[in-house]
Every structure is written in C-alpha cells, then in structure tokens.
Structure 1
Amino acid sequence: MAEETNGANGAADQAAAPQVRMQVLAQFVRDMSFENMVARNGITSSDVQPDIQVGVSLDARKRTGDHQYDVISKFKVTSKNKANGEALFILEVEYGGIFHVEGVPEEQLHPFLLIECPRLLFPFVRRIISDVTRDGGFPPLNIDTVDFLALYRQEAARRAQTPATPAH
C-alpha cells in the first residue's frame, strides 16, 4: 500500500515541477585569432616538444527577447616548445550561442547558463580548434573535454575569496 502512495506522490511532484525547455537558436564564432610563430619567426628547431595550455572562460547575458540568452565560451590555446619555451602558436576563439531557456528557477539560471549551454556548444568549438590548428600547419589539436561544472565551481570559489570592493 505504501508503494502506491509514493508512486502517486511522485507523479504529483513531477506534474508540479516546471518543465525545463532549452533550444539553441543560433551558434557563431564571435572572434577568432590564430598566430603561427613557427612560420612568422622562422623557428627551425627539429627538437620540438609542444607544451599546450588551454584556458577557458565563460560569459552569459540576457537578451532583449523573452527567455533568450547569449552564452560565450572563450578558449585561449597556447603552444610552446618545452625544450626552450619558444611560442609555437596561439589560438583564441570566442564561440557563442543564443539560447531560449524556460522553466529553470531563477536561482538555478546562472549555473544552468554557464554549465549546460557551454556543454552543448563544446563539440563545435572543439572541431573549430582542431581544424584551425591543422589548417595552420600543425597536427590537429583535439582538446580534452571541459568539465564545465568544475569550472563553474572554481569560479564561484574564486569570487567568494575575493573581497568585494566598496563603492565610492
């Protein structure tokens, strides 16, 4: 008998919870830069051991349309030669999406925009990075999957430790 009651309450709880709806309205490269230092500076060392660093930052903003948001993922990929520290290439990509998001409670909207939305965009920016590095004269770089939840938590912890500046 208890199982039936739990099942009925579970169905009622699901009906009461708002239905989350997310739709990608557009995706785009907002800005991109690729610098091939090997070609520009004429680095001829045959002892090249690349050390690749990937930096990721995120931004989300409300658009004028109802339930619409811009989400921008910024990737900075730097490759240096481990042997001597010379830069091999620098790639910067700002990749954005316009999202329609409904049914997410206000207190959960910020993490939703900075975790779930970039997660959907990531495979596309990964391919752009791979194509640009290959077309720039290097082996295609297939960057590791980004843990956007961990990135969000790191940023929240960093902001919590930074003292607020008093307004003048």
Structure 2
Amino acid sequence: MAEENGAAEPAQAQQQPQVQMNILGQYIRDMSFENVMAQKGTGGDVQPDVNVQVALDAKKRSAENQYEVITKLTITSKNKADENTLFMLELEYVGIFNIAGIPEDQMHPFLMIECPRMLFPFLRRIVSDITRDGGFPPLNLDNIDFVAIYRNELARRQQAAATAPAAQA
C-alpha cells in the first residue's frame, strides 16, 4: 500500500505545472516630485495629511513568457490646517517578469497582485528617498493590499458593464 501511495505522488506532481517567476528588470518609467511648500515659501507648523492613490497595469511583451507590470503612484501631502499642498509625487515603476507555469485564466490576477507585491519594497524605498531628498521626512508607505485593489477594479468593471447597456438604451 505504501508503494501505491508513493507511486501516486510523483504522478500528481507531474500534473501540476511548476510556477516560475523571475524579475528580469525594474525601472522608473516616469517620476515627478514637486515641493509646493518650498515654491510658495510656506513656513511654520505643518501637519501633513498624505493621500496615496495606486493604479496597476500589465501587458504582455513580445518575448515568450515575458510581462511588463506597471505600478503608478500618485501621492499628495496637504497641510491639515489650511489644506495647502505640501508636495506631490507621481511615480510609474515598471517590473519586467518572466513567468511560466501559470494557467491562462489565473495569469491576470497573478500579474496584478503577485508581481506588484514583489516590486513593492523597491517602490517603498524610492518614495522614502525622494521625499527625504525633497526636504521632507522620509515617507514610509504602509503595505498596499493588492488583492483589495484587484477586487475593487473587478467590481468597478462589472458595475460599468452593467450600466453601459442601460445607458445605450
């Protein structure tokens, strides 16, 4: 009986493809940092209120099994007291991935959740360095829930699809 179980395990292992993911490269595609506070000459006591918006995109590259995943951050810091903008940071960060062994129906969630999750520590460091070099305390981003972002985008698309036929009628 032990031999039967031992023989069945390798057969099951062969049925499930081995997932492979490599980060081939990563880079800043576009970045803009504006120190509005310094431009306006605002001084005194400020209490920053930071708003972080995240957008994700992914596309297949021409090479086999290669994908490009783009994380777009828009970060705005305003003074709580008077709502004046302190700084704005816009950043597009791209990762190039070689991915194999993922079923086609699971590729989109993998690209939009797992890939940004792998890039996030690098993105966090860049944001921290840019805000510090821009004259502010380093902004250390909290972890981003990429699963929630993915689910919200799916819900938004379903809502848009449901309302689009009604708008055409």
Counterpart in 1 of 2:17? 18
Aligned equivalents of 1:84, 1:144: Cα separation in 2 = 25
Counterpart in 1 of 2:146? 148
RMSD: 1.8
Q: 1:17 to 1:42 in 2, by over 3 A?
A: same
Of Structure 1 and Structure 2, the greater helix share is in 2
Counterpart in 2 of 1:29? 28
3-state SS of paired residue (2:129): helix
Counterpart in 1 of 2:102? 104
The alignment covers a number of residue pairs equal to: 165
How far did 1:151 drift?
1.1
Q: 1:48 to 1:104 in 2, by over 3 A?
A: same
Structure 1: give runs of 5+ residues left out of the alignment. none
Alpha-carbon displacement from aligned partner over 1:77-96 (angstroms, at most 9, x marks no partner): 11000001000000011000
Aligned equivalents of 2:112, 2:45: Cα separation in 1 = 40
Aligned equivalents of 1:32, 1:72: Cα separation in 2 = 13
How far did 1:150 drift?
1.3
1:138 to 136, 139, 143: 136
How far did 1:124 drift?
0.5
Aligned equivalents of 1:7, 1:95: Cα separation in 2 = 46
Counterpart in 2 of 1:59? 57
3-state SS of paired residue (1:137): coil
3-state SS of paired residue (1:47): coil
Structure 2: give runs of 5+ residues left out of the alignment. none
Alpha-carbon displacement from aligned partner over 1:68-111 (angstroms, at most 9, x marks no partner): 11100001111000001000000011000111111100000000
Runs of 4+ in 1 over 3 A off after TM superposition: 3-11, 164-167
TM (norm. structure 2) is 0.91
3-state SS of paired residue (1:151): helix
How far did 1:10 drift?
4.5
How far did 1:9 drift?
3.9
Aligned equivalents of 2:135, 2:55: Cα separation in 1 = 26
One-letter identity of the residue aligned with 2:65: H
Aligned equivalents of 1:9, 1:146: Cα separation in 2 = 40
